[in-house]
Amino acid sequence: MLGLPLTEILTLIGFLFTIIGLFFTGLQIRQNTKLQRARFLIDIVELYFQDKDIRDVFYQIDYNRFSFDESTFVLGDKEQAVDRLLYTLDAIGRIVELGALTPQEIDVLAFQILRVMDNKGIQDYLAWLTGEYENRSHVPPHRDAQRLAERLRHLLKERVKNV
């Protein structure tokens, strides 16, 4: 052919097949990653909506029927539900911070997240918790949920600006 020995031709063919194999492996990994992210998102949504107490407190927040009053809230059932809701949002926020999901991928929950985090009662509760955390923690309460809400607000502003 080109004066190449058969062993070199076979080596080149083997190298070509290796490159093609790596390309298809990369495509498969990319597809599997998308599927894993989708499954992960479904799991998060299920977790969020399966807990009746979380759903109940969310609807109170959503319809502005939630308020924070330290004397009646602390150690009550509603505090436990609000804490579960906020820790769920923290977990989602941490997942986004780690890059396992993007803020755009959790658009399905963006409305709920912002309704919760922008609620005056929740803001009052977080302010109260900040005082409780002051000498006990190096991070503010529900930092990941708060950061996630900031990122979602930024995305919302960008979308509104581009419309």
Q: Which residue is associated with the tokens 């991070």?
A: 139
Distances (CA, A) of 102 to 77, 97, 116, 139, 161: 33, 8, 19, 23, 20
Q: Tell me the percentage of the chain whose pLDDT exceeds 90.
A: 36
Average pLDDT estimate for 56-70: 93
Q: What is the pLDDT of residue 9?
A: 80
Encoded amino acid at 76, one letter: G
Residue 143 pLDDT grade (very low, low, confident, very high; cuts 50, 70, 90): very high
Instruction: Report the C-alpha gap between 112 and 59 in whole angstroms.
Output: 10
61 or 104: which carries more pLDDT confidence? 61
111-140: per-residue pLDDT in tens? 999 999 999 999 999 999 998 888 787 888
Tokens encoding 45 = 């949504």
Q: How far is CA 74 from the centre of its chain?
A: 27
Would you list the DSSP string of 85-115? HHHHHHHHHHHHHTTSS-TTTTHHHHHHHHH
27 or 152: which carries more pLDDT confidence? 152
Q: Are 63 and 114 a contacting pair, CB within 8 Å? A: no
Q: What is the pLDDT of residue 2?
A: 59
On the question of pLDDT at 85 being above 80, the answer is yes
20 or 126: which carries more pLDDT confidence? 126
